[in-house]
Structure 1
């Protein structure tokens, strides 16, 4: 059976094991030799990162040709509209082409850990949350999609990849799971 590790990546952590200046990396949290991230999360995104030593499993998770679903909880600036959600569901035109259709819905504020540093708060600007599931992995895709429909991303948390989700995994912690 392949070894698969789920890690709840904090904001600001670089999604690699090698040192990159002063910023924290996966090596500061996951002391398991021989595993590598199956896909990446930007340093300013949080949430589920899967790590494995199995090259086939890594490809199945990360390679867009397998169209593995990735679900994000996204705090956006403004109160999301049904028109914007419909646009996300139909695919959004970005500079590098049209995105695949996504699953998108408005959600109540999720019960998440506090972010460090906190998301900026402005009394005069509302915010809201959406759940967004995509099946591709372009660079900063979710942020670009929400901006393209007029609702810039304030906070981005990857909640699930395929059948694996964060559930009750605390921020900065990891656990080994069945690779299925």
Structure 2
């Protein structure tokens, strides 16, 4: 049976886009990677989070310009910006390039590994960036699923959630009153 599988591999033209091991051919199975919601592997990207510190002596508009520059760099390299949190100026734990403070920006985005090298190259070349750190959150992320909901969608869910909380609070107080009545407490 193993000989048959090896001969099958040798006689069948090799497709370089599809790599199958001998054990998979022997058992008649074929692995399918990234079969989530019918998407192809190429539609998934790596999910990254980068925290970078901008020179605190820059004005707010200049900081916004630096953030926009890196957002456009991500999009230019076929990436998707998921979320940008500006934490503002904060005191550093230790001095970095003779600065005691830094303008913190936390950015989440999806992209291919090549995007990361271009982004880090941009951070290293820009004098306005004091320090940066990137971590990989996920190997296979769907950028559309990670995008935050629209403001209208959040407003609707927020309005619906408030009455539900009030109802649950009233139900809890009724349960307490029932238990007090059973125990003889008034």
Q: TM-score range by the shorter chain?
A: 0.3 to 0.5
Instruction: Give the helix-richer structure, 1 or 2.
Output: 2
